Structure 1
Amino acid sequence: MPHSDDLLWGAVGDISRFAALLTMAELNVADHLAHGPLNTADLAQRCGAHAPSLRRVLRELAGMGVVTAAGPDAYDLTEKGTALRSDVPDSVRSSIRMLGEESFWYAMGMLPATVREGSSAFIKRYGLIYDHLAGHPDVSRMFDDYMTARAIPFTEGLAKRYAFPATATMVDVAGGKGHILATVLHANPQMRGVLFDLEYVIGHARQTLAAEGLSDRVRIVSGDMFAGVPAGGDVYLLASVLHNWDDDDAVRILRNVREAMNDEGRVLILEVVLPDSEEPHLGKDIDMRMLAIFNGGTERSREEYAAVLGHAGLVISDVVELGSGANLIEARRR
């Protein structure tokens, strides 16, 4: 084999390794191994799998360090593999399942066609992502779990590193299940919140916020952010929202927020901000998914966010590093 860059051959191997992890997540292998090692036949029976096929996947997973041999034809879960259990904090199982879900897997495989034609092959087959999710509740729940898991490190950074006004009302625009809003309110006990999202989403938010004991501090509102957002907030949070839309749509959303917020209000944009350098970066990886799934959705640099905000009559007042590749951009009326 001709010599080539290890990164390139690593990327070639990554597709196989991800497929093995996806199999582990879908078959719930980590949960079945949570209480100790099992031989392949017993594990296959519990997973509802074909034992010889599972054995080959376990061999790959052992090479990745998420399971380990525990005697002849038996395997045990490693500390690294514990992250694929469904019952542990910061589990990555839902994230792996979502990225391997049929429509998302199709989107990434069809990225060359998307780039050739300049429009998403995913949309051509499945329609707009939020319409697709609304019509497929199982996929929607998986997507919600993925977004929740992905947001955990960003959310913890937001609550610890940003100084919220003590008695503010925060409007979480397209706030999903409400986990970010709940984290902020727990950290700021005098604040109140408004959870704003599409009608099919807010049922999950009611359950989450009730379970967090926050029903009396949060108003839940359904609606379309392109038509308007709830008025009178002091802080408007857009977490992983603007990257779903092209610049024109992002400006429409921001103008609606600017019109709705109080005179001294602020807009908080929680996104992965692209660096100006050519170094590898989480945002560049995510941008490939945005390109594959959305027509116009894109990750942006700080300069690009400044331009979008400027068109909406807003100006950046601060940028806070949240860790894990995420940034919080604070903006106010110009």
Structure 2
Amino acid sequence: MPSSDNLLWEAVSGISRFAALLTMAELGVADQLADGPLDAEELAARCGAHTPALRRVLRELESIGVVRAAGAGRYELTGEGAALRSDAPGSIRSGLRMLGEESFWYAMGKLPETVRHGKSAFIAKYGELYDHLAGNPEISRIFDDYMTTRAEVFTSGLVARHDFTGVGTMVDVAGGKGSILATVLRANPGMRGILFDLDHVVGHAGELFAAEGLADRCETVAGSFFDSVPAGGDVYLLASVLHNWGQDDAVRILRNVRAAMNPGGRVLVLEVVLPDDAEPHLGKDLDLRMLAIFNGGSERSRREYAELFAQADLELREVTELGAGASLLQATARSS
């Protein structure tokens, strides 16, 4: 078993490895190597990079195992490295670019300041996340790509593990560009959908629904879930929504959903659920990002979600693991 000193130094070294992976993602190295090995000079020319500097990064990337030497000074992708290609299923490229984007990098670097004062240093510098994204289209595009890719694994689990039989209408609350809703509708031909999000978010969702042949089964509605959500849904989906908000705000969102849903309706919350043990877990990593970027946002345990639902007159019925660290929590109106 590694000593505590080794574990600590592994964590310290992680920042250099992340920076190398970020460089690979930003420069599109994996895309350039997709068709076969290249030497550092040719790779640098294709990526618009400085050859000696790129060689040093490639040396680190080789040690991580995402590229390997292919003779005559050339490098090729490994199976692990292929996950950084833009066209790879579940590509990690957009996630690296998002986490390495200047404002997100700042947020994590300033975590000590956030912990010292109990307020997000990110917000103090850049403002609320979604306002920041709205004012920076390029960052917003990277964020949307990241969220879409991240949702792919969760969505396949949702479709495979949850029974939508009998559902007439599903409302995807804060559903972004509609990728999750489109996947659920394709798998359930008799269902209709409503995509609900802020105006600047849902503006282009119609293009996706048209391309997927779903335009006649899905409508988009713009608004704020703090005011209300579209009424008449049999199922309301909140995917990676509640963890952005503190207790009072999350309860307010759920109360609006509770008021809007049909009798016998249910609420599906797709989130990472924190375990009760001390073992490493994706949710604990994500929770520090929530701490860094939001004032009040957090990952929650099963017990905390049950309490959250109860405050909104809902009752947690079931928790289903979907894979990749995500879980689906199902709630219905509380019994009288």
Residue 73 (structure 1) shift: 2.4
SS for the counterpart of 1:237 is: strand
1:267 aligns with 2:270: no
Write the deviation string for residues 179-215 of structure 1: whole angstroms up to 9, x where unpaired: 1111111111101100000111112322222221111
Contact preservation (8 Å) 2:255, 2:313: yes
More divergent stretch after superposition (309-318 vs 5-14): 5-14
Percent of aligned positions that are identical: 69
Letter in 2 for 1:154: F
User: 2:316 matched to which residue of 1?
Assistant: 316
Q: Which residue of 2 aligns with 1:234?
A: 234
Superposed counterparts of 1:105-144, under 5 Å: 105-144=105-144
Gaps of 5+ in 1: none
What does residue 327 of structure 1 align with?
327
Partner of 1:215: 215
Residue in structure 2 matched with residue 188 of structure 1 by the alignment: 188
Deviation at 1:166, TM superposition (A): 3.0
User: C-alpha displacement at 1:165, in angstroms?
Assistant: 3.1
Aligned residues: 332
Distance 2:139 2:83 in 1: 21
Equivalent position SS for 2:237: strand
Aligned to 2:294: 294
8 Å CA contact 1:62–1:69 kept in 2: the answer is yes
The structural deviation recorded for 1:259 is 0.5
Contact 2:154 2:323 in 1 (8 A): yes
Secondary structure of the equivalent of 1:99? helix
Amino acid at match of 2:17: R
Q: In 1, are the aligned partners of 2:167 and 2:235 still within 8 Å (CA)?
A: no
CA distance in 2, matches of 1:204, 1:71: 47
Partner amino acid, structure 2, of 1:180: I
Q: Deviations over 1:263-319 (max 9, x none)?
A: 111111100000111111110010010000000000000110111111111111111
Normalising by structure 2, we get a TM-score of 0.97
Match of 1:20 in 2: 20
Tell me which residue corresponds to 2:44. Answer: 44
Taking the TM superposition and a 5 Å limit, the aligned residue runs for 1:158-177 are 158-177=158-177
**Aligned mates of 1:5, 1:163 — CA distance in 2:** 48
Distance 2:207 2:180 in 1: 14
The alpha-carbon deviation at position 7 of structure 1 amounts to 2.5
Tell me how far 1:222 sits from its aligned partner: 0.5
- The one-letter amino acid paired with 1:27 is L
Deviates more, 1:310-319 or 1:241-250: 310-319
- Contact 1:166/1:188, CA 8 A, preserved across alignment: no
Q: Quick one: which amino acid aligns to residue 266 of structure 1?
A: R
Equivalent residue number for residue 101 of structure 2: 101
Q: Hey, what's the Cα distance between the residues in 2 that align with 1:75 and 1:213?
A: 42
Q: 1:204 to 1:92 in 2, by over 3 A?
A: farther
Q: Whole-Å Cα distance in 2 between the matches of residues 5 and 146 of structure 1?
A: 34
Partner of 2:224: 224
TM-score by length of 1: 0.97
SS in 1 for 2:319: strand
Shifted more, 157-166 versus 123-132: the winner is: 157-166
Equivalent residues in 2 for 1:65-104, closer than 5 Å: 65-104=65-104
Gaps (5+ residues) in structure 2?
A: none
Q: In structure 1, how many angstroms separate the alpha carbons of the residues matched to 2:171 and 2:213?
A: 18
In structure 2, distance between residues paired with 1:95 and 1:208: 21
SS at match of 1:164: coil
Between the aligned partners of 1:88 and 1:322, the Cα distance in structure 2 is 21
C-alpha change, 1:4 and 1:303, in structure 2 (3 Å) is closer
Secondary structure, aligned partner of 1:215: coil
Q: Distance in 2 between matches of 1:29 and 1:322?
A: 31
1:86 deviation in Å?
0.8
C-alpha offsets along residues 69-125 of structure 1, whole Å, 9 cap, x if unaligned?
122322111121111111222111111101101100000000000000000000000
**C-alpha separation between the residues in 2 aligned to 1:130 and 1:160?**
31
| Partner residue in 1 for 2:151 | 151
CA distance in 2 between counterparts of 1:188 and 1:219 reads 16
What are the Cα deviations for residues 133-175 of structure 1, in whole angstroms up to 9, with x where unaligned? 0000111111011111111111111000011133420000000
